[in-house]
Structure 1
């Protein structure tokens, strides 16, 4: 039987008060998806978001990936994945028994909605307490930082984790526009934050069934790690 992966995308499209748009980041979904699709047998992919329907794709990530064949092909051939996502409320109603792994791509959107979304937090909690894989890349770990388990502890407490770093946020000039700094919050909840040797370098951290990647360059490695752990 093929494994089954639930991918959760942001529904948030506005980049604070900048007048610019955001959403989920193309290469952070396209590269793991390519890994999944190339495996045998390929896993079943279900895509959800807080609101359901079309999940906003960060247009700047399309420009950034214009020379990336995997992302360009994904953009043109797989749009059905993000144009008709399942609402998180429906995922909760249906239950998570059929899934093996949960994956959150990044983009700045998750910082604004998934970080505080109660349905998303409940899904993460259920996956973790059922012994399933929980994974995220770049800003995707924003969906994990506020999750508390049944014992009252933060999911990330005592775990090794990576995510988009404070210095990388500074580098893109958006630190003052974020509702919080992701690296800082990860440390605040008691996790051990790990970082690549230099900004934008690939960094994968696997702590049991918790899989995180630092930035877009780490997305493929996250996809490979998900399949390996499954």
Structure 2
């Protein structure tokens, strides 16, 4: 059966999120609902999903996401999505991002980057992720990023590693200076809010992040807005679709499906 199109999903390869005071959150990874809810719906619509990450290793789930709270309090729904996840062979054995680039990015209709803290480890300054995002920007193809996923947009900076290093060191002026030439400067966008991160730091990661995601995107030049903690919030500006937190999964999906339909007209 012919597919409706192909979508590239970028996932983190990370295993440990560096925190302040030399701490590391070893449980960092992807959030279950942020991957499975959009992916399942896209597959049901007839789209083929290619999963890719920096090293080609099996992505690590954040166990804090394997809970009923992110599935409407429905235990049966949680189990259903766990089974769905476990049946995704391409997710267990993703392609390396550099190999996706070599095989050609024109074959993909959209890109999707789910969250969890994983993208804060590696996708934010991965040079190959930057190549991929610049392609989707230059071709005006839908670019959907969710929760911590929008931090991957920093990889499209000309000096992403230097920007991230300056921000982690607390050199905000230096980071801002390194943000010149960012393709998403001035874009309206959202990402996991400082207030949400501060709630999860003691409960989930056991320390303080090196910098807050919304502050990072603002420093780079993004027009960042957020709503009060844990409300569903997604918005679109040109090709970019972004959602604030795990509860924004359906809202991001709705905008992405609409954008894909519009591109096919």
Report the TM-score when normalising by structure 1: 0.90
Q: Contact 2:119/2:148 (CA < 8 Å) preserved in 1?
A: yes
Structure 1 segments (4+ residues) deviating >6 Å:
none
Deviation at 1:155, TM superposition (A): 2.2
Q: Which runs of 5+ in 1 are unaligned?
A: none
State how 1:138-217 maps to structure 2 within 5 Å: 138-148=147-157, 153-173=181-201, 177-196=208-227, 198-217=228-247
SS in structure 2 opposite 1:115?
A: helix
Does residue 86 (structure 1) correspond to residue 92 (structure 2)? The answer is no
Measured in 2, the distance between the counterparts of 1:169 and 1:7 equals: 24
SS of structure 1 residue aligned to 2:49 = strand
TM-score (norm 2): 0.79
CA positional deviation for 1:4 = 1.2
Post-superposition offset of 1:133: 1.2
What corresponds to 1:5 in structure 2? 7
The Cα shift of 1:19 comes to 5.5
Alignment partner of 1:112 is 2:142: no
Contact residue 126 and residue 155 of structure 2 kept, 8 A: no
Q: How far did residue 57 of structure 1 move? A: 1.3
Contact 1:35 1:220 in 2 (8 A): no
Taking the aligned partners of 1:168 and 1:218, their CA distance within structure 2 comes to: 13
Alpha-carbon offset, residue 127 of structure 1: 1.4
SS in 2 for 1:74: helix
CA distance in 2, matches of 1:123, 1:163: 20
Instruction: Note the aligned Cα RMSD (angstroms).
Output: 2.0
Contact 2:25 2:206 in 1 (8 A): no
Instruction: From the CA coordinates, give the structure whose radius of gyration is larger.
Output: 2
Which residue of the partner structure matches residue 51 of structure 1? 55
Q: Is the 8 A contact 1:200 1:215 kept in 2?
A: yes
**Stretch deviating more after TM superposition (176-185 or 93-102):** 176-185
Q: Distance in 1 between matches of 2:76 and 2:191?
A: 25
SS in 2 for 1:164: coil
| CA shift for structure 1 position 70 | 4.5
Aligned match of 2:170: none
Q: Deviations over 1:60-89 (max 9, x none)?
A: 211354735544323213322421101111
What 5-or-longer segments of structure 2 have no aligned partner? 159-179, 261-265
Instruction: Number of aligned residue pairs: give it.
Output: 225
Matched, 1:220 2:250: yes
- SS of corresponding position for 2:154: coil
Offset, 1:6:
0.3
